[in-house]
Structure 1
Amino acid sequence: MEEQTVIEDPYPHILVSSKKELHGWWKGKRECTGERLLINPYNGCSVACIFCYARALPAQYFRLFNEKGIVTVFKDFDRVVAHQLDSIRVAACGYLSPVCDPFQEVNDRYRLSEKIIREFVERNIPIEFITKCRVPDEVIGLIKGQKHSFGQFSVSTSREEIRRQLMARGASLAELMASMRRCAIEGIPVVLRVDPVIPYLTDSESELRAMITEGIDHGARHIVGSVMDIPLKIAKEVFEKFRRFGVGFVYDLERLYVEKIDGYLHAKIDYRKRIFDRMRNLCDRLNVTFALCMEYEVIDGVPVGLNREFMSSVNCEGVDVPIYIKKGEKFIPAADCDGACLRCTEAKCGIDDLAMGRGGRTDFYLRDYRRWSRQLEGGNG
């Protein structure tokens, strides 16, 4: 990797140019029901959760973050995204971001997340964000005008003193809840992610109830849950960081985390199912929907998703977002459908590949969106 100048303010980072392309969910096992265009304007994250799995990702800029704590900012990435959006006539909801917080400190300086959201909304393409940080006013102003756009907010505890030990930065719980309320007041669908639950630390019924009820009180109508998983590559480092909660605590974690699935350590399946049953029952009693994020059990050597057992919503993110197609200068919903492409067998949107309930691929790239666009225009694909 070419040597770059490190900029210290507001957090150590470098600026690089990139023409990386929008793409869908990664190849392999998938529980995500809706199709998405994944967007990562930043590699690395100053929120610095002690369980952060981005530190285990193999791409060069994630390695830089893990080894030196330097965030990579993709300079003018909003223009790259805009050019790519103008090259397609079929679009899924944007996903900002699957790995690193879009509103972390460097975004205060470069505002790439706001600029990217604007590019989507000005074309009337839906976009969602996932954050542990305060949401900028500009983002709320932009998203509230797009019918299917929404926000997800992640918490791991209801106790501020524990939150500060789990992550170096990010919004306080009060600030995060305030952002949720601001979104809800403006009519933006709000999702609370209890993600991840930390075994033996934030998994009691009283704590789960506190997180969920607080989220509901601030506008959430759907809850996403997961139990912490640990990349094998950095497991030793993660367990060491949890020593701040006691040597005995780490000993208990190590005895619980014995299941290996595709390079990750998972808590024993009986434990996880007990937590998910508790969360689902809480959500049912509180009249909100519930789903899991990337939770699996191994059956006959094959990872099988647990949403089949615990999900109460149509889509795992709790918001039904259809595929959009371009008509004139703007995009519009392709069909009156629930957007659950993973289970779809009808392809009301006109894109047969996205009827994944029939079998076939579940990973798509910009070239696929361009091919579908040509098909809609009457080309040969």
Structure 2
Amino acid sequence: MPHRPIYHKSRGALTNPVSRFASAHAEDFDDGWQTLDLEDIERPPTRLHHDPARRVISRNSSPDVPFDASINPYKGCSHGCIYCFARPTHEYIDHSAGLDFETEIYYKTDAAERFEAELRAPNYRCEPITLGANTDPYQPDEKQLGVTRSLLEVALRYNQPLSIITKGSLIDRDLDLLATLAEHNLVSVMMSLTSLDPAIKRSLEPRAAGPKQRLRSIRALADAGVPVGMLVAPVIPAITDHELEALIDQGAAAGAQTAGYVLLRLPHGIANLFREWLDTHYPQRAAHVMSLIQQMHGGRDYDSSWGTRMRGSGVYAQLIARRFELACRRAGIGARRRIALDSSRFCRPPATGDQGAFDFG
């Protein structure tokens, strides 16, 4: 994998920097004997890896996110969004946050079995679980792997409420299960919208569904009775922020009931990956974009402080917040309001080997 920026169509990252946890680092250089021909480096393929898990439900205590429990069917995401805040998590499994994150994809082979085992545990107490908190549950390889669908099937058997975050139109495949869950107030969906401009989308999130596809998915979900909202994420200054009102208007027109937004976050090595992307695709405004980002993060590329890491601080961040609230008000949808789900219906259906009275709550 290259360490110098090379743009591959349908890939977001331009390099594959070594993990920050690696003990050794390599650097490409030209020794004068034409041994380094960057033009001949082929586009890296996607490789799928089995990822057996002992548990699939993760817990968090962050005050910045509106849920405590989540499941991520995949590690890595072939959507290739250059801004993805989850990229650094790939470094924990000895991969790069760059091209590795979008090409080395791990999927939980036995996710449904582990999920069911955790739901049947005597100490489990039902609460809504979020799918897609880290990586997208409807990324392209879900079409053949079906991990997310298998989790929905388990949730339906147990009346386990789920909230889903995605930018994948593949969610339309599961409308049958989602509509059934929605009949009992057991599911909600937040569709992520970043830009209405297909040209921006192609380099920013190369293998994600296009903006029109996502709007059609919002409409399909709403028509099927599934509570659906929109998440304008991330808002990128001088790249996508001018679309904020239009995104909310079109999302609301498609059937979104509520909306949220998140400012661009650049933790760890994402800042360098994003700078490479800017220098390649928007060289004339790169310095201005980074200046605005730093103005919203206390002069740094990123401020991880709770309460400000997703909304930023300063005048520009306040302007974005005000525009968002006004746009939601004009569109007639809720701003940052989470769709409430029903946890009271949860039950453990009888299983082979059960004895005595069953615990249905």
In the alignment, residue 314 of structure 2 is paired with which amino acid? I
- 2:334 aligned partner: 289
C-alpha separation in 2, matches of 1:9 and 1:234: 19
Deviation at 1:225, TM superposition (A): 0.9
- 2:244 aligned partner: 208
- 2:314 aligned partner: 269
In the alignment, residue 227 of structure 2 is paired with which amino acid? P
In the alignment, residue 201 of structure 1 is paired with which amino acid? I
C-alpha separation in 1, matches of 2:160 and 2:110: 20
- 2:205 aligned partner: 167
* RMSD across aligned positions (CA): 2.7
Shifted more, 106-115 versus 9-18: the winner is: 9-18
1:236 aligns with 2:272: yes
Aligned ranges 1:215-230 → 2 under 5 Å: 215-230=251-266
Deviation at 1:169, TM superposition (A): 0.4
Larger radius of gyration: 2
- 1:334 aligned partner: none
Deviation at 1:43, TM superposition (A): 0.2
Deviation at 1:328, TM superposition (A): 6.4
- 2:78 aligned partner: 46
Q: Helix, strand or coil for the counterpart of 2:170? A: coil
Q: Helix, strand or coil for the counterpart of 1:32? A: coil
Gaps of 5+ in 2: 1-42, 351-358
C-alpha separation in 2, matches of 1:323 and 1:199: 39
C-alpha separation in 2, matches of 1:233 and 1:87: 39
In the alignment, residue 249 of structure 1 is paired with which amino acid? R
- With structure 1 as the length reference, what TM-score do the two structures score? 0.71
- 1:355 aligned partner: none
Q: Helix, strand or coil for the counterpart of 2:191? A: strand
1:87 aligns with 2:121: yes
Query: Cα distance 1:261–1:94, how it changes in 2: closer, same or farther (>3 A)?
Result: same
Selected match of 2:324 from 257, 261, 279: 279
- 1:133 aligned partner: 168
Shifted more, 240-249 versus 120-129: the winner is: 240-249
Answer yes or no: is the 8 Å Cα contact 1:229–1:267 preserved in 2. Answer: no
- 2:229 aligned partner: 191
C-alpha separation in 1, matches of 2:52 and 2:138: 20
In the alignment, residue 126 of structure 2 is paired with which amino acid? A
- 1:151 aligned partner: 189
Query: Cα distance 1:257–1:267, how it changes in 2: closer, same or farther (>3 A)?
Result: farther
- 1:349 aligned partner: none
Answer yes or no: is the 8 Å Cα contact 2:98–2:273 preserved in 1. Answer: no
In the alignment, residue 168 of structure 1 is paired with which amino acid? P
C-alpha separation in 1, matches of 2:204 and 2:276: 13
C-alpha separation in 1, matches of 2:219 and 2:45: 27
Answer yes or no: is the 8 Å Cα contact 1:132–1:154 preserved in 2. Answer: yes
- 1:362 aligned partner: none
Query: Cα distance 1:86–1:99, how it changes in 2: closer, same or farther (>3 A)?
Result: same
In the alignment, residue 170 of structure 1 is paired with which amino acid? A
In the alignment, residue 349 of structure 2 is paired with which amino acid? E
In the alignment, residue 318 of structure 2 is paired with which amino acid? K
C-alpha separation in 1, matches of 2:127 and 2:314: 33
Answer yes or no: is the 8 Å Cα contact 2:152–2:177 preserved in 1. Answer: yes
* TM-superposition CA deviations, 1:184-238 (whole Å, max 9, x none): 001101111111111011112xx22211111111110101111111113331221
Answer yes or no: is the 8 Å Cα contact 2:81–2:205 preserved in 1. Answer: yes
In the alignment, residue 210 of structure 1 is paired with which amino acid? A
Q: Helix, strand or coil for the counterpart of 2:215? A: helix
Query: Cα distance 1:73–1:61, how it changes in 2: closer, same or farther (>3 A)?
Result: farther
C-alpha separation in 1, matches of 2:144 and 2:240: 33
Answer yes or no: is the 8 Å Cα contact 2:159–2:346 preserved in 1. Answer: no
Answer yes or no: is the 8 Å Cα contact 1:224–1:290 preserved in 2. Answer: yes
Q: Helix, strand or coil for the counterpart of 1:130? A: strand
* TM-superposition CA deviations, 1:9-63 (whole Å, max 9, x none): 9932211211134133x24x41334x44210110000000111122112663483
- With structure 2 as the length reference, what TM-score do the two structures score? 0.75
- 2:16 aligned partner: none
- 2:17 aligned partner: none
Gaps of 5+ in 1: 1-7, 292-312, 331-373
Q: Which has the higher strand share?
A: 1
C-alpha separation in 1, matches of 2:248 and 2:128: 26
- 1:142 aligned partner: 177
Q: Helix, strand or coil for the counterpart of 1:46? A: coil
Query: Cα distance 1:274–1:21, how it changes in 2: closer, same or farther (>3 A)?
Result: same
1:113 aligns with 2:133: no
Q: Helix, strand or coil for the counterpart of 1:56? A: helix
Deviation at 1:253, TM superposition (A): 2.2
Q: Percent of aligned pairs with the same residue?
A: 21
